[in-house]
Amino acid sequence: MNAVDAVASHITKTKPDWKVYCIGITTNKLVKHFFGEGVIIGTATNAAELAGLIVEDRKTNKLSFFCGDQRREELPAILRNNGIRVNEIEVYQTKEVSQALNKEYHGILFFSPSAASSFFKSNQLSESTVIFSIGTTTAAELALKSKNKIVISDLAGKEQLVKKMIDYFLDPN
């Protein structure tokens, strides 16, 4: 979603005639908002799944990948290993801001691997705190940082993660 915001801010005239693959519900909504309803040709919940979809679709042999400076390797590696040329375009930078908590929480939500990394530079959680992750990639980073229970959203979207947390605390079994 950060890449969509960054790219959209530079498009001032006619919308480009792009076909878009994207990850997550929020990114999907932003692509539709900025570039139109019909541009999305594939969506997935994580980078490896998206790369598999692109390879399986066989609709392209080259593509542009709008990303941040801390992007993960799965997507471009899988595409390149399957003969798809990837033009990586860095469109934003991630700035970690580590903030120490001074009270305990029953649950904490994480929306990215970099957020998990930043959080655990200044914080430790009590054993009873439940961690909620927007997806499997973020969950993998959280598992490296903490032994706490991790609950992963069924769909990669902010609203879905919040709903997952609410449902969990209403019925934690």
Kindly give the confidence (pLDDT) of every residue in the chain, 173 residues in length, as a single tens digit, with 9 standing for 90 and above.
778 777 778 777 777 888 999 988 888 888 898 888 888 998 988 888 999 999 998 878 899 998 888 888 889 999 999 999 999 988 888 887 778 888 999 999 999 888 999 999 999 999 999 999 998 889 999 999 999 999 999 887 888 899 999 999 998 66
Q: In this structure, are 85 and 12 located in the same domain?
A: yes
121 within some domain: yes
Domain boundaries, position 122: 107-170
End-to-end CA distance of the chain: 32
- Which of 41, 69, 92 lies at the terminal end of a domain, its last residue? 92
Looking at residue 153, its amino acid is S
150 CB-near residues (< 8 Å, 6+ apart): 130, 131, 132, 133, 139, 142, 143
* Local structure of 4: helix, strand or coil: helix
161 within some domain: yes
47-57 and 74-81 helices cross at what angle (nearest 10)? 20
Tokens of 155: 């769909």
With 0.85 as the threshold, say if the pTM is over it: no
- Which of 38, 68, 92 lies at the terminal end of a domain, its last residue? 92
Contact indicator for 161, 109 with CB cutoff of 8 Å? yes
Enumerate the H helices of the chain as residue ranges. Answer: 2-8, 25-35, 47-57, 74-81, 113-122, 136-145, 158-170
Q: In this structure, are 56 and 112 located in the same domain?
A: no
